[in-house]
Amino acid sequence: MGGTDPTLRPFLWRAAKMYPDTEIVSRTGRGIERYDYAEFEDRTGKLANALDSAGVASGDRVATFCWNHHRHFETYFGVPNSGAQLHTINPLLPDHHIEYIVENADDRLIFVDPSLVEKLEGPADSEAFEAVEQFVVMGEEVPDTSLEPITDYESFVGDESTEYDWPDLSADTKAGMCYTSGTTGKPKGVEYTQQMLWSHTMATLTPQGLEFDESDVIMPVVPMFHVNAWGMPYSATAAGAKHVYPGPAPEPADLATLIEEEGVTFTAGVPTVWLGLLEYLDENDADLSSLETIVIGGSAAPEAVIRRFDEEYDVDVLHAWGMTETAPIGSVSHLKAGMEDWDADARYEKRGKQGLIVPGLEFKVVEDDGNEVPWNGEDFGELYIRGPWVTQSYFERPEANEEEFEDGWLKTGDVVTVDTDGYIKIVDRAKDVIKSGGEWISSLELENALMAHDDVSEATVIGVPHERWQERPVAFVVPVEGADEEALREEILADIEAEYPRWWTPDELVFIDEVPKTATGKFDKKVLREEYSDESLVEGRVPEEAAPDEE
Amino acid sequence: MGGTDPTLRPFLWRAAKMYPDTEIVSRTGRGIERYDYAEFEDRTGKLANALDSAGVASGDRVATFCWNHHRHFETYFGVPNSGAQLHTINPLLPDHHIEYIVENADDRLIFVDPSLVEKLEGPADSEAFEAVEQFVVMGEEVPDTSLEPITDYESFVGDESTEYDWPDLSADTKAGMCYTSGTTGKPKGVEYTQQMLWSHTMATLTPQGLEFDESDVIMPVVPMFHVNAWGMPYSATAAGAKHVYPGPAPEPADLATLIEEEGVTFTAGVPTVWLGLLEYLDENDADLSSLETIVIGGSAAPEAVIRRFDEEYDVDVLHAWGMTETAPIGSVSHLKAGMEDWDADARYEKRGKQGLIVPGLEFKVVEDDGNEVPWNGEDFGELYIRGPWVTQSYFERPEANEEEFEDGWLKTGDVVTVDTDGYIKIVDRAKDVIKSGGEWISSLELENALMAHDDVSEATVIGVPHERWQERPVAFVVPVEGADEEALREEILADIEAEYPRWWTPDELVFIDEVPKTATGKFDKKVLREEYSDESLVEGRVPEEAAPDEE
């Protein structure tokens, strides 16, 4: 019978009916815009009607190419609750990745931010965008652009009715989609069913998750194209909390102002954001007294960040772990009862781990021989995870499915220990990936680009620890005999900069005589990683403007 | 792929792995018994193996006829997680109801408490029990009994392995079953799928539900045969909390001692239990300082109880509403942000309502004409509810399904108002039912019993408000002309006492000239309810020993 499956619909309904006056605040190009859940529900209804009018049918994919703001939030409910599927595209990806995923997802309509219109024009000019029927720019006017046909959002929804008869969807209706570049090769699509988003939302609400209540003021700094901003637009709505969306490219000063002026209690993002905020606070006054919790995920949170927020600002940093494939919250580093009384060092060490699995999921840690490792904080293995909000396959990627799933378990690629208290800690990666400022960089792609050069004999790229960006890529190149190393360095870097976002460019290019090899002749990056684990190699070399959150 | 559906398995796994030393405490006939989650998991494994050895197959129904204790808790995971279905029988039901539901459910094995063996012998002697292959008595020895074949629980599980390979169950595997006598007629079976119990557990964990954390010590006083003790054995496990089970027929003194000695933070039960505890506390000293929250459900919580626990013991009373059909938590009377600052009367008035819908569910309030009523705290209608843990049908009862469901909505039979803040308040019942001390009494059955007497012309039974039991039945009888009223009264009451539990016996039998009728000739109980709404009618008339929780 209809209406009893787990779907997103009850969350919107509940917030609009129980908390009609609670605010959604949005920093846009026009300044701070605000309205309440009652208006949000009305506008979501208009959006759903507009999608119907535009010919978007149940099961069609609708994409966004947007930062964090109220219109993007409207698509979070308006698209999936009308039966279509919301595909949030990461605008920081290289152009050819954007082309690939729009074609792969068969997106029919794309919502795009004014500030990202130009970025989208290149990919949109390719054959990959042939199936895209319409662009809608997130604002009140259409800028000068080659994208077409294009309308502005307010015109798109303007004349539609606020009433929409939200259908009874089944649990397995596809609701969301996000591509991951976590591992090498082409991005892989992860589809979220209504049931997955519902389950993840409920789990996020629990005290073992993020514990949202209606008195919270929640500001997702993590982009809404990163696994639904870690699900917060859904969970904050389910709780009836106030939302604060920091808009395009928020500076630390913007975040500090929003926290202070909107009374933010809860915020979340990658470590780089909070390092930047701490630096800003060193030089500027801001009242952070409303702030209770920062969730850090995407990359490991430096212990110094956890410590400084606690000691100087009385803010709990909750370290969380997850993946695009896990929708994303998998574990959260809550302290157990009694641990609050531990001395500071012991507490920060626990909080610095990836934490305790959220109720409803299961995991195991597996050695190469397939056996599970003991929970002693020392033995390590690959983390396998499964549960109602963990994906069971990638979209149209049978070869990846074969490789990355086993008997219903997702093989995460993270190499972890588990201590006797059950805290997971990532100690290595089973897969060859680099994550910088919260964004994946494919070492395989960079290596192919390097080796495409005639004067390169062989080359490899590793991620080297970096204080601000957590990791930066460093290239190791074996030149052909007699090559001019200085000329080669310049050419190589120019080639990469031409083809990839600036922040993909390796911070350092080291010429070596030979890439270390394993017994079977494969590149042995472990040797390089050990040798170059010293942050000094890349310290200060990445230009600020090349960073992903500055794009 | 296996293992990704929402099931109970991750909750047991997580508690045993993350909180192996956390205790499960159980008051039994032998005193206080205690062990930890590690041992609980081992014993649950033994139980699952024992069920296999006994020939219980996937999909078979296994029943319990038990109070609240650790062995009953073991069946909560051991039975459903092995693929069988746990049917918790209410031992307070009339014998012929027990016969009906055991036959209807086709139970193959029944776990029975030592103190309830005698009560089960009567029904077990009937043909209805023909399919029952085995009885297992919850203890270490078999009492003298006509039940057969019978073994004791410790022998049943004794030699089995603690290891059990818990299967990958699907979301719609039947996990639990509970019969409701909420409405007139034969009890109706409600089946709980793995997904329903999973969803209800997650919802219960949230701050909008009951908000369980691992530092909680949770004592379900509500019987485990009442909708899984409102799901607490599952949700407390999911949270990794300590459990305290108060065993058979706990007196107020037992509850006070358990709270004090075990550090109970959270407990739950029907109003009668808490009225009894308050009376006890008036005369006796007890340290309730650990106690933070009492959830009251099953019947409306008297405001005086909410007020006294708050003012005298600094304990929050959370009023909750639910039904067997809603697994059961549907709404909880949390105060919204800001309401904590209201004056006491306003706060108690809000807390006295049935509260705010839990995230994940939807409801509407419908007038006779099918229109929804406005949320103004005045207009009323029948409460309809739907969502992932609301049943969609009764077991093998097509006629009831036709009547009590509509387009996926459950018609609750409760007549409610909703105020502008979204708080539901029950103001009447659409159905003709009586609930006394948390247990249903069928007015239809009593009326049939009354009218079976030759000297009764017509008769009706209504529930009259009662301070301690919330409601007590009162019979209105029209004698045939010339009947001896005094003799008739004695005969009638003797007949009812012979056939029904003592607490079904009407507190008062009033002779009247005519039962008021509606325009269409039906009994118009509204008239009688208005006339006899005064508690004085039944005040003090129900003998203590006839109460359901004393059986």
**Digit-coded pLDDT (tens) for A194-227:** 999 999 999 999 999 999 999 999 999 999 999 9
Asked if residue A271 lies in contact with residue A302, where contact means CB atoms within 8 angstroms, the answer is yes
Q: Where are the alpha helices (DSSP H) in A285-429?
A: 303-313, 344-351, 398-404
Helix axes B232-239, B194-205, angle to 10 degrees: 60
Asked if residue B320 lies in contact with residue B301, where contact means CB atoms within 8 angstroms, the answer is no
Asked if residue A533 lies in contact with residue A465, where contact means CB atoms within 8 angstroms, the answer is yes
- Indicate which of A208, A363, A390 best probes the interface with B, i.e. most B CBs within 10 Å of its own CB: A208
Burial class (CB in 10 A: 0-12, 13-18, 19+), A540: exposed
Structural domain tally of chain A? 1
CB contact under 8 A, A208 and B208: no
Query: Which position has the token pair 């499915």?
Result: A401
Which of 519-538 (B) contact A at CB < 8 A? none
Q: Write the pLDDT tens digit of every residue in A234-247.
A: 999 999 999 999 99
Other CB atoms within 10 Å distance of the CB of residue A140? 12
Asked if residue B191 lies in contact with residue B391, where contact means CB atoms within 8 angstroms, the answer is yes
E strands present in A419-455: 424-429, 434-436, 439-441
Instruction: Indicate whether A551 pLDDT > 60.
Output: no
Q: How confident is the model at residue B537 (pLDDT cuts 50, 70, 90)?
A: low
Q: What's the pLDDT score for residue B311? A: 95
Answer whether residue A148 is part of any domain. Answer: no
Q: Write the pLDDT tens digit of every residue in B238-276.
A: 999 999 999 999 999 999 999 999 999 999 999 999 999
Joined together, the tokens standing for residue A387 give 């549960």
Answer whether residue B457 is part of any domain. Answer: yes
Average pLDDT, chain A: 92
Helix axes B9-18, B70-81, angle to 10 degrees: 130
**Distances in Å between the alpha carbon of A476 and those of A508, A543, B474?**
8, 20, 90
Joined together, the tokens standing for residue B233 give 């054995």
Q: Write the pLDDT tens digit of every residue in B367-381.
A: 988 899 999 999 999
The residue ranking higher by pLDDT, B36 or B516, is B36
The domain in which residue B449 lies consists of 432-546
Other CB atoms within 10 Å distance of the CB of residue B89? 27
Q: Looking at the annotation, which residues of A are catalytic?
A: 180, 325, 435, 440
Strand bridging mode A23-28 / B424-429: unpaired
Task: Please tell me the pTM assigned to this model.
Answer: 0.92
CB contact under 8 A, B357 and A14: yes
CB contact under 8 A, A336 and B198: no
How confident is the model over A14-38, as a mean pLDDT? 96
d(CA A248, CA A67): 5
d(CA A536, CA B198): 49
Name the residue in chain A with its Cα closest to that of B4.
Answer: A387
Asked if residue A359 lies in contact with residue B205, where contact means CB atoms within 8 angstroms, the answer is yes
Answer whether residue A356 is part of any domain. Answer: no
The CA R_g of chain B, rounded to the nearest whole Å, is 23
Chain B neighbors of A205, CB-CB under 8 A: 205-208, 359
Instruction: Indicate whether B80 pLDDT > 90.
Output: yes
CB contact under 8 A, A388 and B11: no
d(CA A155, CA A157): 6
Q: Write the pLDDT tens digit of every residue in B281-309.
A: 999 999 999 999 999 998 888 889 999 99
Joined together, the tokens standing for residue A423 give 């805290």
Asked if residue B72 lies in contact with residue B243, where contact means CB atoms within 8 angstroms, the answer is no
d(CA B452, CA A500): 89
- Indicate which of B8, B13, B14 best probes the interface with A, i.e. most A CBs within 10 Å of its own CB: B14
Q: Looking at the annotation, which residues of B are catalytic?
A: 180, 325, 435, 440
Q: What's the pLDDT score for residue B547? A: 46
Of A388, A421, A422, the CB nearest to B6: A388
How confident is the model over B313-340, as a mean pLDDT? 96
Of B18, B213, B375, the CB nearest to A422: B18
Asked if residue A488 lies in contact with residue A455, where contact means CB atoms within 8 angstroms, the answer is yes
Asked if residue B282 lies in contact with residue B253, where contact means CB atoms within 8 angstroms, the answer is no
CB contact under 8 A, A208 and B205: yes
- Indicate which of A8, A202, A340, A363 best probes the interface with B, i.e. most B CBs within 10 Å of its own CB: A202
Using the Cβ of A37 and the Cβ atoms of chain B, whether some distance falls under 8 Å is answered with: no
Closest CA to B381 of B413, B419, B352: B413
CB contact under 8 A, B362 and A13: yes
Residues with Cβ within 8 Å of B153's Cβ and at least 6 positions away in sequence, in order, are B71, B111, B136, B137, B138, B139, B140
Joined together, the tokens standing for residue A427 give 């100690």
Answer whether residue A42 is part of any domain. Answer: no
Asked if residue A173 lies in contact with residue A8, where contact means CB atoms within 8 angstroms, the answer is no
The CA R_g of chain A, rounded to the nearest whole Å, is 23
User: How far does the CA of residue B208 sit from the closest CA of chain A (Å)?
Assistant: 7
Q: How confident is the model at residue B203 (pLDDT cuts 50, 70, 90)?
A: very high
Q: What's the pLDDT score for residue A541? A: 41
User: How far does the CA of residue A480 sit from the closest CA of chain B (Å)?
Assistant: 49
Beta strands across the sheet bearing A61-65: A150-152, A134-137, A109-112, A61-65, A85-88, A174-180, A188-193
Instruction: Indicate whether B410 pLDDT > 90.
Output: yes
Q: What's the pLDDT score for residue A103? A: 98
Q: What's the pLDDT score for residue B550? A: 36
**Distances in Å between the alpha carbon of A388 and those of A263, A411, B206, B207, B237?**
34, 15, 17, 21, 18
Which CATH number goes with the domain that contains A439?
Answer: 3.30.300.30
Using the Cβ of B58 and the Cβ atoms of chain A, whether some distance falls under 8 Å is answered with: no
Q: What's the pLDDT score for residue A547? A: 45
How confident is the model over A5-16, as a mean pLDDT? 98
Joined together, the tokens standing for residue B15 give 């508690």
Coil vs helix vs strand at A471:
strand
Of A11, A211, A422, the CB nearest to B17: A422
Which of 179-198 (B) contact A at CB < 8 A? 195, 198
Answer whether residue B34 is part of any domain. Answer: no
Coil vs helix vs strand at A536:
helix
Which of 235-254 (A) contact B at CB < 8 A? 238-239
Up-side HSE of residue A534: CA atoms within 13 Å toward CB? 4
Share of chain B above pLDDT 70, in %: 95
Coil vs helix vs strand at B276:
helix
Paired with B517 in beta bridges are B523
Residue A341 CA from chain centroid, whole number:
33
ipTM field: 0.90
d(CA A331, CA A320): 6
- Indicate which of A357, A362, A418 best probes the interface with B, i.e. most B CBs within 10 Å of its own CB: A362
- DSSP codes joined into one string, A364-396: EEE-TTSPBPPSSSS--EEEEEESTTS-S--TT
Residue positions counted in chain A: 551
Q: How confident is the model at residue B429 (pLDDT cuts 50, 70, 90)?
A: confident
Answer whether residue A492 is part of any domain. Answer: yes
Q: What's the pLDDT score for residue B41? A: 98
Joined together, the tokens standing for residue B26 give 């159980």
d(CA B109, CA B55): 10
Answer whether residue A453 is part of any domain. Answer: yes
The residue ranking higher by pLDDT, B542 or B27, is B27
Q: How confident is the model at residue A516 (pLDDT cuts 50, 70, 90)?
A: confident
Asked if residue A438 lies in contact with residue A468, where contact means CB atoms within 8 angstroms, the answer is no
Of B4, B375, B408, the CB nearest to A386: B4
Of B2, B205, B408, the CB nearest to A207: B205
Q: Write the pLDDT tens digit of every residue in A465-475.
A: 888 888 899 99
Which of 385-424 (A) contact B at CB < 8 A? 386-388, 390, 392-393, 405, 407-409, 421-422
Query: Which position has the token pair 């003799």?
Result: B487
User: How far does the CA of residue A421 sit from the closest CA of chain B (Å)?
Assistant: 6
B140-144's contacts with Cβ under 8 Å and 24+ in sequence apart are: B143/B114, B143/B117
Instruction: Indicate whether B499 pLDDT > 70.
Output: yes
Paired with A417 in beta bridges are A425
Answer whether residue B241 is part of any domain. Answer: no
Which of 431-460 (B) contact A at CB < 8 A? none
Chains A and B: how many Cβ contacts under 8 Å? 149
Q: Write the pLDDT tens digit of every residue in B182-195.
A: 656 789 999 999 99
Which of 151-170 (A) contact B at CB < 8 A? 168
Paired with B444 in beta bridges are none
Q: What's the pLDDT score for residue A29? A: 85
- DSSP codes joined into one string, B117-137: HHHHHHHHTSGGGTT--EEEE
**Distances in Å between the alpha carbon of A376 and those of A362, A413, A419, A424, B165?**
18, 20, 5, 11, 24
Instruction: Indicate whether A87 pLDDT > 70.
Output: yes
